[in-house]
Amino acid sequence: MRRLFIWFVFLICSITTFSSYSQKLIQIRTAIQISSTISDGKYSLFQIAKIAKDNGIKAVVFTDKGFMRWEYGLWPLRCLIKKTVISNSIVQYKPQRYLKDIADLESQFPHMVFISGVDSSPFYYWRGSFISGDLTICNWHKQLIAIGLNKPSDYINLPVIGNPKALRDGIEIFKLWPFVTLSIGLLLFKRRIYSYKDIHGKELAPYSKGSRIKGSLIIVLSILFILNNWPPFKVKFDAYHGDLKSAPYQNFIDYVNRIGGLVFWTHPEAENISQRGKVKIETKKYPQELLYTKGYTGFTVFPAGYKEIGKPKGIWDTLLKEYCSGKRKRPVWAIGTLSFDQQGELSKRISAVSTVLLVNKLTKKEIIKSLKKGRMYTLKGEETLKFILDEFSVVDKKTNRKATLGETIVLENNLFVRIKGHFIENDSSSFEIKLIRDGRVIKRFKEKNFFDISYEDVLKKRENSYYRLEIRSQGLIVITNPIFVSFK
């Protein structure tokens, strides 16, 4: 009975038309950031699709790990004397096979959309040493997800520290120095005690044993360093020069933008301290990275991005105000992700966090478009599957033009904010709704189920602005993406 009820609920959700927005927009429940057995996940791609279908999910964004490769080398021959750990990943599995497997799901689940993506750790660095017993890999869990990577080369060329070929940055002449010492070693090896030749110019003097020993040693060392330095490419960064701050992550963001993908910071407020064998693993929370990097599509407000970033007057509001003032070229959107690999049951995670997209129709192109344009809201809590935000829009009082999530409305007069929503069941529910403008809560509403609010707001300053919502009820928190306001 419970499964039949869930199916009924999501049938309604998936066909609900936003008549107040546009006759074309429908709501699509989406599960984002799930790893499969291709990398470090618990379920196969088919199993994930089946569980998502059983829970009424219409779109799934897979984000298996692109590269799972740690490497620690001893100076000065780091590329020869090293320990490498390689785990399952998209590149190990082969990207073309990964993409084909995801594409095949659409024939098995014809009324769903499956989108390929990748979960990446662009950078890590080493601290401490084996000798002192405090060897630590730092920032391994400082991650971004890239969505909409459709070609094998998109994965093969990911600019992450586990993929040194993608980090090449021209020839480094200095790495050729062992050829100089090799030449010196060869000269010493051929050195004789004195110079004496016969009438034909043939050397007759014996070789110098001391010079031969020195030459042999120099030749061996030179060959080792040639092998260590080959090929003699520069790399943009490696794991042995400490924390490089935002540079490796900005490099990753720029790459994803060039190939037409979307990139989101994930769990920026989560700290990860663990151990693997004798190696410590340490990643501290990184909400400030959202301020230091540019050009990314958004961040995960749930499950670990709300307390410092998504709250009113938090980092997200700072970013949105930077966009309104022209300091950023694009807005930053909030999504909810599952961050699911091995922990717990997938069906429970799906029912606890989801992102609802507003699309014209259920296609891969429309899903990507809505993610790119911020046409979505995200939910967290036990009651996420039962709530529907029927409308959130800004309406020009004079012209009656309106805009919804992720859109911009050009005003001629004062405005109304329209907010409508309900639980599919539980008529006794109550809601606390915060209307946020430019980071400040300008109005709080206490409402019962099936709320319908029309709030008139007067903007004294005719400058770019935005509105967003935070909705709370028992077992539920909803965060919407903003609606932007500008003036003629």
**Grouped pLDDT means (10 residues each) for the chain, 488 residues:** 43 39 78 95 95 94 95 94 94 97 95 96 94 92 96 97 94 95 93 71 75 94 96 95 96 98 97 92 97 98 96 98 96 92 79 94 96 97 92 94 96 92 85 97 96 92 93 96 93
CA neighbours within 13 Å on the CB side: how many for 129?
4
Helix axes 209-229, 177-189, angle to 10 degrees: 160
Amino acid at 262: L
Domains, the chain, ranges and CATH?
A: 2-162+242-380 (3.20.20.140), 173-231 (no CATH), 387-488 (2.60.40.10)
Q: In angstroms, what is the C-alpha Rg of the chain?
A: 29
pLDDT at 429: 85
Helices (H), 117-167: 152-156
Entry pTM: 0.90
pLDDT at 4: 44
| CB neighbour burial string for 33-55, b if at least 16 within 10 angstroms, e if fewer | bbbbebbbbbbebeebbbbbbeb
pLDDT at 167: 95
Q: Which residues contact 415 (CB under 8 A, 6 or more apart)?
A: 394, 395, 396, 397, 409, 456, 457, 459, 485
Query: Do the beta carbons of residue 106 and residue 112 sit within 8 Å?
Result: yes
DSSP state letter for 170: E
For residue 126, give the nearest of 277, 280, 284, 286 by alpha carbon.
Answer: 280
Q: Is the dihedral of CA 261, 262, 263, 266 positive or negative?
A: negative
End-to-end CA distance of the chain: 55
pLDDT at 193: 78
pLDDT at 10: 40
Which residues are bridge partners to 267 per DSSP? none
Q: Which residues contact 32 (CB under 8 A, 6 or more apart)?
A: 61, 63, 145, 147, 335, 336, 337, 338, 355
pLDDT at 3: 44
Query: Do the beta carbons of residue 403 and residue 411 sit within 8 Å?
Result: no
